[in-house]
Amino acid sequence: MRRHAQEIKNHELIDQVIAHALVCRLGLCKDNVPYIVPVSFGYDGARIYFHTAPEGLKLEFFAANPQVCFEFEDDVKTISKPEACQWSASYSSVIGYGTIAEIVDAQRKTYALNQIMLHYSGRAWDFDPTQFEKTRVWAIAIDRMTGKQSKDKLKPA
C-alpha cells in the first residue's frame, strides 16, 4: 500500500468495514479479459459466501480462473471544496484476494446461505432443500486482504 498512514491494520476494523458493506465486488479474469461483478454476500471472518444462478457469465469466469479479487466499501461520501481539484472523498475500504470454490454439500450450503442472510437480515433462516437445485453457492477462501481509510477517518495520535 502506497499510503501506509491510511492503512487499516486492525483486523476488527477491517471486519467492521465488511459488516457495513452492502455489496461485494468481485474482480475476475478469463483469457486475459477482466470482469467485475457485484454480489450480495455473507462473511464469517475466514470466507466470503455468495450464491448464483445455475449458469451464467460469472460461472464461466470461475471455471477459467478460481483466483479472485474482492472489494468492499463503507461510509463513502464526496467532500466538496470551492475549487475542483481540491475535492476528495471520505471512505473506508477493503481489498483482498482469494480462491473461489463451489459448495455442494447441503449442510455447508445451508451454513453459507445463512451467512448471507445474517449479513442482511441479522438472523438465521430455514431453507427449503428444493431451492438448492436452483441455486449454486460459493465460498472464497481469503488469502490476504488490506483495509484503507481516508485521512478524515484517521484517529489522532
Of the candidate CATH numbers 3.30.390.30, 2.60.40.10, 2.30.110.10, 2.60.200.20, the domain formed by 4-151 belongs to: 2.30.110.10
pLDDT of residue 85: 84
pLDDT of residue 86: 80
- 118 burial (CB, 10 Å; 0-12 / 13-18 / 19+) is middle
Whole-structure pTM over 0.95, yes or no? no
Q: Is 75 helix (H, G, I), strand (E, B) or coil?
A: strand
Q: Which residues of the chain have pLDDT under 50?
A: 1, 157
pLDDT of residue 1: 47
pLDDT of residue 60: 97
pLDDT of residue 155: 62
CA-to-CA separations, 36 to 3, 48, 69, 81, 91, in angstroms, rounded: 25, 16, 9, 31, 20
